[in-house]
Homo-oligomer: A and B are copies of this chain.
């Protein structure tokens, strides 16, 4: 510890409510009120209390507060990955929205493992969280039961469903993927393939959307899907494209599960001497910033990740503030952004 020698002094006693109360000649409960419900305390007293608080440098003890009120200031957030930039954007929206409120975000990382998710839910619940935000709708049965029994607002994010545990903010991956695939067909590509990595439940739904689009035009999906459970990466996108082209040389377009794969596919195509767009159509998913800046620019399906974090946080905060307005389910939708990588004339 920084002050381990300690200069002979004991760690200085903490400034408590009682100290502030003594300072202004009031009771602790009054000081407590002045801090949490200022309108319940008379003007003059309130001001003297503020002054004393600043003076003494009083900071509430969240543990004592949580113990007495049976309610912590923690908003628990459970996501499968911290490195995935998709979740990073969601988190950014969350932190920006929760920052400045009296609440704190605490993150749980499931690493895509349902049993860890369940454990994290238990741990969070044991803290009596102010709210809970969980990614996805594919909780195990017992996870779901735990969430249903939570006596705090719960928001599921990233997906759409008709039966949320409590509230839900997301969009339909299936519909978005279908739109992307239809875009490839509209642009005149005749032999599209789905390239997928990791294949979590969300990826599976995107694959469904891909199939929907092919089904709709009577096209077989046979040999038009190449997926792996490996974690996604740019490199893997290239490898998948190379592998698939070796087996199915006629392929003239790929819909990639995410933008990393699409970027990697674009690099691999160039490496193979193909002209992206003309020789092979490439569409990604999420529309990370790099897609617009790439050369050539890469078509993607934009998703509103930051807004998802913001909205989820707002729904929790509203509930905590007593405003239970707004719908339980928010569909943030998606938007196809056509670019050069799916322009055959480019």
Contacts and interface: CB of A to CB of B under 8 A. Distances in A.
Interface of A: 1-3, 11, 59-67, 72, 81-83, 85, 88-89, 91-92, 95-96, 99, 104-107, 109, 111, 116, 122-123, 125-128, 147-154, 165-166, 233-235, 237-238, 260, 263-264, 267-268, 270-271, 289-290, 292-295, 319
Contacts of A267: 293-295
Q: Which of A166, A294, A319 has the most CB of B within 10 A?
A: A294
Contact of A61 (B67, B152, B235, B263): B67
A192 B117 CA distance: 49
A26 B64 CA distance: 27
Nearest to A324: B4
A323 to B, nearest CB: 14
In order of increasing CB-CB distance, the 4 nearest A-B pairs are: A63-B66, A59-B126, A234-B293, A267-B295
Given A59-B122, A294-B267, A234 B289 contact: yes
Q: Which of A92, A150, A153, A293 has the most CB of B within 10 A?
A: A293
A149 B109 CA distance: 31
Contacts of A11: 151
26 contacts: A1-B150, A1-B154, A2-B149, A2-B154, A3-B149, A59-B122, A59-B123, A59-B126, A61-B67, A61-B127, A63-B64, A63-B65, A82-B91, A83-B85, A83-B88, A83-B91, A95-B107, A104-B106, A105-B106, A105-B107, A234-B293, A234-B294, A238-B293, A264-B293, A267-B294, A270-B295
A148 B125 CA distance: 34
Given A2-B148, A107-B95, A149-B2, A290 B234 contact: yes
Q: Which of A11, A62, A111, A238 has the most CB of B within 10 A?
A: A62
A125 B116 CA distance: 29
A147 to B, nearest CB: 6
A177 to B, nearest CB: 23
A144 to B, nearest CB: 10
A292 B268 CA distance: 12
A152 B127 CA distance: 22
Contacts of A105: 106-107
A41 to B, nearest CB: 22
Q: Which of A82, A106, A148, A271 has the most CB of B within 10 A?
A: A82
